[in-house]
Structure 1
Amino acid sequence: MNALAVAGAAVAAFVLSGGYYGALAARLARLSPAYAGQRRSAAATAAVELVRNAVLALVVAGLADGLGVTAPGPALLLALALWAAFPAVLLAGSVFHERVPVALAAIHAGDWLLKLLVVTLVVGLPG
């Protein structure tokens, strides 16, 4: 496992996700009071998100390494499989059981798809 690739993937996911949610901030505020009210400090948010993305990158790197993923095609397939098995399933459950608005779940699903694609490509290709 390449530690530099894991760190790079975590930072790339952090930046991509931040830009994604930043671009959708107005829509998020209309969909959920959690995005309309007072937010946590930027420093706390950055720290939490970097740790979350580091855990994601580390787990995906371990899976990619264990599965022998070393080319873009298998990396993309792994990302899509992980997305379908975890974020998509969890978010579908939140829509059905907790009545989360479909549009809000779709925004989160898009973030997770982008994150998993970039992380899997960064850690799954030879450096």
Structure 2
Amino acid sequence: MPELNYLAVGVAMVAALLVSGTWYALLGSHLARLHEAYAGGSRPAALTVPVELVRNLVLATVLAGLAAQLGISGFGAALLLAIVLWVGFPMVLLTGSVFHEKVPAKLAAIHAGDWLLKLLVLTVIVGVWR
């Protein structure tokens, strides 16, 4: 396994939490109208924050390892990697959920936007700060 910058992984993890939290805070009223899971209020922050930090830590570590293996060390290459990963994974999964499970397209679009922002932030931080 290549050397990872664990400080960059930690910073990326927290940055992703802040960006994602802001995204959903701005769009919370739309989520409540689109799906009943969001209508009843959110989970307590005491539970949400640690769960999201762990999820972001896993993702940041994977992205840091991938960026290191691919030799990603600049802003442009990190940006391209984030976009390619977004198209290849969240977009494929979310369009499948719209088509096969009848998830509202607007709901999937909100989640797709979160994933794009999260992947951009995480990948750029761990890809540039090596």
TM range (shorter): over 0.9
Runs of 4+ more than 3 Å apart = none
Q: CA RMSD in A?
A: 0.8
Unaligned runs of 5+ in 1: none
Residues 126 and 41 of structure 1: CA distance in aligned 2, closer, same or farther (over 3 Å): closer
TM-score, length-normalised on structure 2?
Answer: 0.95
Match of 1:85 in 2: 88
Q: Tell whether the 8 Å contact from 2:8 to 2:129 is kept in structure 1 after alignment.
A: no
1:35 and 2:1 correspond? no
Aligned length: 127
* 1:49 and 2:49 are equivalent in the alignment: no
Provide the residue aligned with 2:128 in structure 1.
125
From 2, 15, 20, the counterpart of 2:18:
15
Q: CA–CA distance in 2 between the matches of 1:126 and 1:115?
A: 16
Q: Does 1:108 align with 2:111?
A: yes
- Over the matched positions of the two proteins, sequence identity in percent amounts to 62
Q: Specify the code of the residue in structure 1 equivalent to 2:23.
A: Y
| TM-score normalized by the length of structure 1 | 0.97
Q: CA deviation at 1:42?
A: 1.1
- Equivalent-residue separation in structure 2 for 1:38 and 1:76 (angstroms): 34
Per-residue deviation, 1:45 = 0.7
